[in-house]
Structure 1
């Protein structure tokens, strides 16, 4: 049976239910399968040997998600080739590609959790009420251990960008 967590997050002050476990720094990063596009999948293993900053957003077409993705895109250049930044949302791959083109996003890889919500369930961020992934940040080291985890308590708030980037830099 899938774990459900209540009382840990809200959307504009209204309680929401997160599906999946609450992960902590030091845990092994769970496996997942998401879509690069309609025909091609991606998994954690595709980024083996890299430090992974996983930025999770409910939808790229909202203000905070847009700002979050743009911020990590601008930080990417200063982090080097050992780091990959993945933005995961439940947006369709078409919408992600359109948004990235319009926003000039070229240093972040967008991946879609729309098909199976594999990522959302494995990382404990799937919002039961909306079938969206809750805003969160995960930094995964080269050995696929979680080095940093931030679950936001309110979906409409920004993550701690500086703490996430510092966690990545500490692994370099």
Structure 2
């Protein structure tokens, strides 16, 4: 379990992130058109998993915008923005922000992604939501970069995540 902070107050996650070099666990998430996607749908492509509590918070929105900017510069790479938001909220957010280069995926049905990846927030005001995490996976779904952001209100280290792909 990771000890992180929300507004300076200590909170914990339910587990530990996948370790560098391990194979990422498959998942089944919901897209903005309510279809399902799994990790295996992205086989053969590199992936940045931008995971956050909600698109309706400033830093989460900023991270989606930043990775949307970077996406067009990356070859053979999909950027997956994952939260517990309803797909309708994710779709509304992308339309309002002009975000077209990332894929929004929702873990709203059962939260299994957050549980399986050890990043579900266990206590505090955001209990049940995802903590802010960036995972980078290679073409074979091996974890090549992992960041558990220590304070929910802090942006991830975009440069390090992108650098892991080079």
**TM-score, scaled to structure 1:** 0.90
- Indicate which of 20, 45, 48 corresponds to 1:50: 45
Determine the C-alpha separation between the residues in 2 that align with 1:105 and 1:22. Answer: 27
1:1-12 equivalent positions in 2, closer than 5 A: 5=1, 8-12=3-7
- Indicate which of 112, 118, 126 corresponds to 1:118: 112
Q: Which residue of 2 aligns with 1:132?
A: 129
Determine the C-alpha separation between the residues in 2 that align with 1:77 and 1:148. Answer: 20
Shift of 1:38: 6.8
Shift of 1:39: 3.9
- Indicate which of 87, 91, 98 corresponds to 1:93: 87
Determine the C-alpha separation between the residues in 1 that align with 2:8 and 2:37. Answer: 34
Determine the C-alpha separation between the residues in 2 that align with 1:39 and 1:112. Answer: 9
Is the 8 Å Cα contact of residues 53 and 140 (structure 1) preserved in structure 2? Answer: yes
Determine the C-alpha separation between the residues in 1 that align with 2:34 and 2:52. Answer: 22
**TM-score, scaled to structure 2:** 0.93
Determine the C-alpha separation between the residues in 1 that align with 2:140 and 2:153. Answer: 32
Determine the C-alpha separation between the residues in 2 that align with 1:89 and 1:17. Answer: 17
Q: Any idea what the Cα deviations from partners look like across 1:86-139, whole Å, max 9, x if unmatched?
A: 000110000000000000000000000111112111211111232110001000
Query: Mind listing any 5+ residue stretches in structure 2 that lack a counterpart?
Result: none
Q: Any idea what the Cα deviations from partners look like across 1:9-57, whole Å, max 9, x if unmatched?
A: 1111212221133322111111111111474211111111100000001
Between Structure 1 and Structure 2, how many residues are aligned? 163
Is the 8 Å Cα contact of residues 31 and 122 (structure 1) preserved in structure 2? Answer: no
Determine the C-alpha separation between the residues in 2 that align with 1:91 and 1:106. Answer: 18
Determine the C-alpha separation between the residues in 2 that align with 1:38 and 1:103. Answer: 18
- Indicate which of 96, 100, 104 corresponds to 1:106: 100
Query: Mind listing any 5+ residue stretches in structure 1 that lack a counterpart?
Result: none
